[in-house]
Structure 1
Amino acid sequence: MVREPTFGKLVRVGLPNALRGELWEVCSGAIYLRFANQGVYEDILRKYEGQTSTSTEEIEKDLNRQVEPMKSLPEYSAYQKPEGINRLRRVLTAYSWKNPELGYCQAMNIVTSALLIYTSEEQAFWILNTLVDRMCPGYYRQMDVRLMHHFYSTSMYGALLDQIIFEQLVEKTMPLLWNHFKKTDVQLSVACLPWFLSLYINSMPLLFAFRVLDCLFMEGPRILFQIGLAVLKLNGEELLQTKDDGAFLDILKDFFTSLDSPTEHETSSGRNKRLTYREFAMVTDELVTELRRTNQLKVVAGIESYTKRSAIRHLNDTAGFSKDDIATVYDKFFGALYYSKQQDDKPETRMNLDTFQRMLASMTSWGKLKVMDDTSDEQAVKQVGRQFIARLYQYFKLDHEQGIDFQGAVTGLSEILHGDLMSHIGFFFKLYDEDKDGLLRNADIIAMAKELLWLFRYYKPDLAWDAICSLVVHSDEQSEIARGEEPEEAELARQLAELTMTDPSATPVQRFSQLDASLSSKTVEIAEPSFRMIILTNECLEMFFDHGFVDTFRLVQSTTERTKSLGRELFENLFAEGKKLATDVPTPTAKLRPSPSPSPSASQHTHSPSVSSPSSVYNQSPPSDDNKEKAKKQDMSDEVDYLFTELGHLDV
């Protein structure tokens, strides 16, 4: 029957309820997935029975809302009863475990509940897979408020992309109406974005929504655009009289309500079909694919820009960073989080130690923890470097936090980059005062000496050993003074000479051993004022604490980083789609979409104060910053901002 030339016409006339579920499955191609994966649905339910996740918690919240009056599908009684709710729960839960990266998001419950009216649970499960993965790619990306404020993600970019395409089609096919909307500042997305998200199920009576699904599964996503254009055309005369969004919404609400009226049913239905399939037949799958490809990078860049600005606005304290510099810190922080994410892992908003080290590696040479070879000496040096980074990590995160959040990174970096000599001395004192008792003891001084010796390899390696010896010997001296004892100048001079006059060819491990032994017979306790005196005693140490450590940071984006940043998740989605096409069972309705070919433009970057290059073979400066002109996408950015507002993010 599917091969009959009249099949399409029969579908448009209307499917019989008894066959609707099976024909949805056949037309969408989901039947092939179900036959190729027999038992998978039941296996998932058994495997994850009793387990919970963030997605299952969100599902439960929506299911509780589902049974309240006037919520999703109020006209259908099955979803006011436990049996219907349990069926919906099982399908949504199974999909969230099958695709954990996406999990569950808004509008899935609406679409799935409509499918279950005419299909079994397993059929609905595989049709949902087909919808999300192939027919409406990107519509149901995770929409988590935390992530929208704290993670650069192109959430639901597919729905936003198609909304932009829909507005372009309105401008092309109904220029008079489009110009009126622009003149009166009426936003199409107020009403039209929910059409695409819910596939019209929440916008029109169920009888008509099912007819939309009939055509969607047979003809593909172009039907969503054609019906939307037809609705605007049918109400064009009234819409030309609107002056604001409220009147716009009222007209469309009255129209959809009138579809249930017996007097309007026949005329509206006939006009709707005629307009959709004749006047807007120019909207083809090929046109939709081409427009998606043309606008993809623009939309992703707009969403990325919105998410960045939103995260920055939600900071409690920008800690003295300029607008440009805070944007660069954002890119460094969330770039490290993104590229540390394992495949299929959910995005994180807090850094663990490894991710923190990745962020430092994008800012400093020492953060890369490079070594010349795999000898024991070089491995010992690397271990000292790891200890310093771990110490910074513990300092940046509060004790009660499970990792470093964006605010913690901003505050910590500001303390380093915006401090003066005295504040830097205080910073290092607190860094090594692990028990927070206001004193540095033997172990603290030796740990600092080793780690500063490692850092000096990226600052002034030829002066490193003398400076570190001065730190150790004068710590002993200041400790004696603090105890009220008179230090013996001759003894201090002898200790300093013994440390400094060592074999210049001594290995790092040998020098570390010397430091371990240097205070073994001493009892050192240094308060912060005494620590300041120790640093100010040695010119090299003073210069390092004043500006040397700061100068090892480069708060700029390299050309490579800027290229990666723009559209990174878009390309990840394209890659994932390619994998699915390569591994899924081919279906007659599956179509390959061409990958976007344009190269992403450079994103905004900032410059920090000049940085002195460490005189060390271990230092490799980041690539120089290209001053490319930033492509201006203000119109697209404004549109994306508004679309996010309509999705509930009102902080534009």
Structure 2
Amino acid sequence: MPTPWTTIAQSSRFSLPFTERLDGDTVCRLYTPYDKRHVLGTLSLSPHFVCFGSRTERLVTLIILIEDIHSIEAYRNPDEGIKNGLKLGLKNKTFVIFSSLNDRDTVLDRIKNFRFKDKGAVSQRKQSVENIDQIMRSPLCQQFPFNDHSNDRNRRHWERLFSDYGRDISMYRTVDLHRLLLEGVPLEHRGFLWSVCSGAAAEMQLNPGEYEALLRRSKGQERCLMTMEEIERDLHRSLPEHPAFQGGPGIDALRRILTAYSIRNPNIGYCQAMNIVGSVFMLFASEEQAFWLLVAVCERLLPDYYNTKVVGALIDQGVFSDLVLRALPNLHSKLTELGLDDMVALSWFLTIFLNAIKFDAAVRILDLFFYDGSKLMFQLALEMLKENSQLILNAKDEGEALVALSNYTERITDARVENSSEIFIGHVISNSYKHFGELFTTETIEKLRLKHRLKVVQNLEDNQMRSIIKSVGKACPLSQEELEALYAVVKEEHLLSWRSRLTTAQHHRITSVLEERPRFDPCVQSQYRLDFELFAHIFPSMLPWPVQETFVIRAFRLMDINETGILTFRDLSHLLGILLKGDATEKVTCFYKCHIPPAFNMSDLDDLINSTLGSNEPELGIDAATMTTSTTSSPSAGTSAVSSRRQTSATASEVIADVDETGIDAASEVDELISEVDVDSPMLSSHASFRDLELVSGDSDSGRNKVSPPIGSPLLEVLSLPDRAPSEISDSFSLIEDASDAIKSLSQKMQATTLQEVQRRSTTNDEKPVDPITQIQFIELWKTFYELIAVRSDDMQLHHSLAVAGTLLLQLGETQKQFQQQMDDAMKDIDEAGEAPAIPKSASKMGDLKSCIQDGDWRLNIEHIIATILAESALSEFFETKYSLLEIIDNYRQKPTRKL
């Protein structure tokens, strides 16, 4: 059984498309009609190809497209000594004969099966062909001719070769072909030979019409702006000295092939140096051929070269360093001393020497490159070092060594000039085969690439981690060690992302939640970004408190400010930095923002509504609707609450109780509001349920334990008070008349930290003021707070403080709503009487004249919520607590249920 690198080397030897995999091989003989011999070698099969390679390297290679096979039959000819043979009839009216097949019947059946499967695909591919008029059908060298160093003798040799060995994809590729490539290729044959030797011609035949389809897609969709800008910037830098690329058809055609490839392979998109090789291809090949030559180079011949990190080129620098050590050990020591051992040939390889030497000489290198693959680059680079070894050994520093190599490459030319300082490229190539052609094989190169890939990728990972962590900035409160540990978690989970992290039901829910998100543009995607599935797996595990899935969705929406459906590592680290290391104001502000638009969406309440409607459990105490609707008490137990939620707008568009521009302390404004409220008014009487709350939860054992009800439970349970736990605001809050005193006490607490100061602390200089929170959003926020303190089930003081603070804020919201109603009534009187009645001073401070009652809701500002929480020492201490991300990650890694 062949080893992995053997399979890779065989695929590379036959120049098959990267999607093609050899299905098997067997020893046999090939009849060669040009010399009437039977050559020993190996027959290999793939879904679209029949390939033969002689045991003696370069003796003969044959590649046949299965769709070109017209007939296939078992063959036997005792007179010629042929037994156990196969005879393939091709569409070009030639026959190919294989003999000495021990498992002939198996090979015959496989070829027939592949041929049968390919027939339907061929007809389907051909139906999709549609021509586009502006595509160039001929090479640019026909419109812009230039000097051709081939002579008549050389042309006659090529015509004889085509006559004897064939002139299409299935031509016999022999040592004679290699010899003529060394001598030089006539201008008119270069594009055809490049396409055949590289496999581009076969891939183009397998994909008729694909290039035109890619061009149509480029016009019908919004392309990545960054990629298009890079392409446009480099178009005129390709071959600026050549008239074909100084405007006109050359530039237009180059733009089309680069754009088409960026759409075909969005993981690469466009990379510098692709414009240079692409422009050279178009000089000698048609536009479509040039596109497929570019595909062959980027995806097979130089894998991973053309991306933002040029991983393939860096790997090959390590391979080249090993080859230099093997072939030129003294020179390797000197290059290592100069620091050039792993970079000396980088620029040569990236452009296949096109930027290193004169154009006519570099094209001669391409003739052999498409035949021998990347092996030619290594042996040619070794030869160039060898011819300059003395200068390099005598160099005092790396600059002197690089200047010596630069002077050498500038003298390489394709013209034979006697007694000249110029260097003939033909001699350099011939010497490279003479000195290093047998030193290593394609299989050797693939083995060394596997060896160096891990090292290069790890170095890139380390550099990328340092770069990404540096981009997080000093504003993130997480330490360097914590950021590195978090990066490692994201990396591990990203690599394991092929496993399903969510159940099918969860996936459907997430899809519905994020269905409005546009699809992320792969052209700008960088490694280890977080889609929602990855975020939903990592984020809750990095928190010290339990959170519901709904909160995770809202946190994702909050950070996804561009609505791409993707978060960066920076987004995650800043979010965790606030929640783990921030002060109480920063944490509460973050939670607050997660419960207002755009993070909050009314669709999040669908499950809550459904569970409320479908629940048959009796509710304790008073109906939750009396605490979430207007001053009129509702007799319904659950329907009114649901109806109110449905009628409530999800957008906080009305600003209630805004801080006055004159700088009046908002705490004193609360005093004024309360001074005008009658304790026995309908507004407060609607909250007679506070006595019932105390009765339900005060002395009952079950009441003591109801500290963290699940989402969807009645609001009564969420805001029920524990058993007479002492509070800094009041010792008892079970009576109706205590409500006014408690709110007044709250206003006194807020004197020390005014609402204006809280507002300055809760927003940065570059952020706009935070919108008010609506009644429904506030209830959801308080449910989230109850989920957080569930881990402190034994801390009755904390639970009591949260319940008291929530109840006070509900009272404040109802108070503001009452005065907003008074203001609206006053404005109505203005319209009816035509004169301004007396309006309470406090009501005039409310700011907005549009009633929040229109949507059956009231609103609170973030300053009210932060000030209330800071006034409760237990809550303030809870939110001021700092957590170690390293400890959380250690616990996360030790979980037995963690996905491996």
Q: TM-score range by the shorter chain?
A: 0.5 to 0.7
Q: 1:479 and 1:74 mapped to 2: Cα distance?
A: 71
Structural mapping, 1:194-593, within 5 Å = 194-260=347-413, 262=417, 263-265=420-422, 269-317=426-474, 319-332=476-489, 345-346=522-523, 348=525, 356-361=535-540, 363-364=542-543, 385-396=548-559, 404-420=567-583, 424-425=587-588, 427-428=590-591, 432=595, 436=769, 442-456=775-789, 460=793, 469-476=803-810, 525=860, 528=863, 531=866, 533-534=868-869, 537=872, 544-547=878-881, 555=885
Structural mapping, 1:76-95, within 5 Å = 76-95=242-261
Q: Please report the RMSD computed on the Cα atoms of aligned residues, expressed in angstroms.
A: 4.2
SS of alignment partner, residue 101 of structure 1: coil
Moved more, 179-188 or 472-481: 472-481
Query: Which residue matches 2:278?
Result: 112
C-alpha change, 1:459 and 1:62, in structure 2 (3 Å) is farther
1:427-461 superposed Cα distances (whole Å, 9 cap, x missing partner): 54565576656866643431122223444556649
Query: Which residue matches 1:647?
Result: none
C-alpha change, 1:359 and 1:438, in structure 2 (3 Å) is same
Q: 1:105 and 1:38 mapped to 2: Cα distance?
A: 26
C-alpha change, 1:403 and 1:29, in structure 2 (3 Å) is closer
Query: Are the equivalent residues in 2 in contact too, given 1:478–1:526 (CA < 8 A)?
Result: no
Unaligned ranges ≥5, structure 1: 67-71, 144-154, 370-384, 486-519, 556-606, 614-618, 627-652
C-alpha change, 1:238 and 1:361, in structure 2 (3 Å) is same
Query: Are the equivalent residues in 2 in contact too, given 1:421–1:545 (CA < 8 A)?
Result: yes
Query: Which residue matches 1:62?
Result: 234
C-alpha change, 1:10 and 1:531, in structure 2 (3 Å) is closer
Query: Which residue matches 2:323?
Result: 169
Question: Quick one: higher RCO (CA 8 Å, sep 6+), 1 or 2?
Answer: 1
What amino acid maps onto 2:178 in structure 1? G
Q: 1:345 and 1:78 mapped to 2: Cα distance?
A: 32
Q: Of residues 598, 602, 608 in structure 1, which corresponds to 2:887?
A: 608
Q: 2:204 and 2:379 mapped to 1: Cα distance?
A: 30
**Offset, 1:412:** 2.5
**TM-score between both structures, scaled by the size of structure 1:** 0.66
C-alpha change, 1:440 and 1:108, in structure 2 (3 Å) is closer
**Offset, 1:231:** 0.6
Query: Are the equivalent residues in 2 in contact too, given 1:475–1:534 (CA < 8 A)?
Result: no
What amino acid maps onto 2:345 in structure 1? C
C-alpha change, 1:625 and 1:100, in structure 2 (3 Å) is closer
**Offset, 1:201:** 1.0
C-alpha change, 1:83 and 1:388, in structure 2 (3 Å) is same
Query: Are the equivalent residues in 2 in contact too, given 1:157–1:300 (CA < 8 A)?
Result: yes
1:523-555 superposed Cα distances (whole Å, 9 cap, x missing partner): 78576477555577585x5675354xx76xx84
C-alpha change, 1:314 and 1:611, in structure 2 (3 Å) is closer
Unaligned ranges ≥5, structure 2: 1-164, 166-171, 499-518, 598-651, 653-768, 820-854
Q: Of residues 265, 282, 296 in structure 2, which corresponds to 1:99?
A: 265
**Offset, 1:299:** 1.1
Query: Are the equivalent residues in 1 in contact too, given 2:321–2:341 (CA < 8 A)?
Result: no
SS of alignment partner, residue 317 of structure 1: coil
**TM-score between both structures, scaled by the size of structure 2:** 0.49
What amino acid maps onto 2:579 in structure 1? I
Total equivalences in the alignment:
496
Q: 1:620 and 1:3 mapped to 2: Cα distance?
A: 60
Moved more, 204-213 or 218-227: 204-213
C-alpha change, 1:314 and 1:473, in structure 2 (3 Å) is closer
Query: Are the equivalent residues in 1 in contact too, given 2:772–2:859 (CA < 8 A)?
Result: no
Query: Are the equivalent residues in 1 in contact too, given 2:324–2:382 (CA < 8 A)?
Result: yes
Q: 1:47 and 1:421 mapped to 2: Cα distance?
A: 52
**Offset, 1:314:** 3.1
Query: Are the equivalent residues in 2 in contact too, given 1:181–1:187 (CA < 8 A)?
Result: yes
Larger radius of gyration: 2
C-alpha change, 1:536 and 1:433, in structure 2 (3 Å) is farther
Query: Are the equivalent residues in 2 in contact too, given 1:318–1:410 (CA < 8 A)?
Result: no
**Offset, 1:311:** 2.0
Q: Of residues 303, 306, 314 in structure 2, which corresponds to 1:140?
A: 306
Q: 2:342 and 2:452 mapped to 1: Cα distance?
A: 18
C-alpha change, 1:460 and 1:546, in structure 2 (3 Å) is farther
SS of alignment partner, residue 15 of structure 1: coil
Query: Are the equivalent residues in 1 in contact too, given 2:332–2:341 (CA < 8 A)?
Result: no
Query: Are the equivalent residues in 1 in contact too, given 2:262–2:268 (CA < 8 A)?
Result: yes
Query: Are the equivalent residues in 2 in contact too, given 1:204–1:257 (CA < 8 A)?
Result: yes
What amino acid maps onto 1:545 in structure 2? F
What amino acid maps onto 2:314 in structure 1? L
Query: Are the equivalent residues in 1 in contact too, given 2:194–2:367 (CA < 8 A)?
Result: yes
Q: 1:59 and 1:530 mapped to 2: Cα distance?
A: 52
1:152-191 superposed Cα distances (whole Å, 9 cap, x missing partner): xxx32111111111122222221211212222334652x5
Q: Of residues 17, 36, 39 in structure 1, which corresponds to 2:187?
A: 17
**Offset, 1:398:** 5.9
Query: Are the equivalent residues in 1 in contact too, given 2:191–2:284 (CA < 8 A)?
Result: yes
**Offset, 1:198:** 0.5
Moved more, 127-136 or 310-319: 310-319
Q: 2:800 and 2:856 mapped to 1: Cα distance?
A: 21
C-alpha change, 1:405 and 1:22, in structure 2 (3 Å) is same
**Offset, 1:345:** 3.7
**Bigger proportion of residues as helix:** 1
